[in-house]
Amino acid sequence: MTDNAFAFGLGVGTHNSKGEWLEVFFPRPLLTPSPELAAAAAGLDSNSALSADALRSLQSSLADAGETEQATLAGRLMDSGRPAVAVLLADDLPPENVPQGYLKLHLLSHRLVKPHGTSLDGLFGVLPNVAWTNEGAVDIDELPERQLNARLRGDVLEVSCVDKFPKMTNYVVPSGVRIAHTARVRLGAHLGEGTTIMHEGFVNFNAGTDGPGMIEGRISAGVQVGAGSDLGGGCSTMGTLSGGGNIIISVGRECLIGANAGIGIPLGDRCTVEAGLFITAGTKVTMLDAQGLPVETTKARELAGKSDLLFRRNSTNGAVECLTNRSAVELNEELHANN
């Protein structure tokens, strides 16, 4: 099973007072590690902290396998005295514990896999809810005592958020991106080169951009935004966690979703959604021809994934309309041919 392992990571993390994992940082995760590395890490418990002897043995095995960088990391973990863990994922299966879950989130944010590129089934049940503070991750049940201890020292324990997911930039800062408000990008986001996340932009885990692109709206879980696409201020993409069900929502290349608009269907390339207009799968859309005359009315789900569409609302009667660079008749024939 180790000949074609899915992923590997050496990490350092935080335990609560019961010795349970709260979070794990993987500085150099690997996708499809070499058979030699997989053999060196085979048999290690992905949910147990490594003893100094186990780390020493792993370091030696990694060095013998020619994995110099990972061997060096093992030595640094051994010297730190902090809880360390080695995770070898032989197959891409749903995560069974906190270290496995965090390794998969790191794979996404390190751009080693794209959204939907690894199984995250059951992740919410695996990850604990954590208080993220200026002293690191703190178990919720242990927070009052930690706050009291800080006050008795004359300090304040700053709690930035209480969540299952930390902010990405405390773990990974991908190259070539700008993030105006780091708390609005969760670990597990996948940000392509050239992506800018403005102050009101938000990117969930297992979601992100191919880059470049300007994001001033919300990229919900499971949504991927294509290169050259912009999301206007306050706009929204409906993800699998926000009512999208099993439909995978995506945005193609060079699209524009206007301010306060939203989509509940996948868009093809070069599509535009007018500001303030929310398109769901069941939205009735009137197709217009080249002269701006109505051809027929269909539901938005029938337009899912089609390119070169402009969605707008008729200012007179309120109807949602769709124009296309191609004739509406041509598009209509294509839709019926796919039935």
Q: So which residues are the catalytic ones?
A: 216
3-state secondary structure of 213: strand
Q: Phi, psi at residue 275, to the nearest 5°? A: -55, 135
Contact in structure between 277 and 315 (CB atoms under 8 Å):
no
User: CA-to-CA distance for 188 and 110, rounded, in angstroms?
Assistant: 9
User: CA-to-CA distance for 105 and 100, rounded, in angstroms?
Assistant: 9
CA count, 13 A, side-chain hemisphere, 131: 17
- The DSSP bridge pattern shows strands 213-215 and 195-197 to be parallel
Quote the longest CA-to-CA distance of the chain.
77
User: CA-to-CA distance for 220 and 200, rounded, in angstroms?
Assistant: 13
Q: Measuring CA to CA, how many Å separate 223 from each of 18, 78, 182, 199?
A: 37, 39, 19, 19
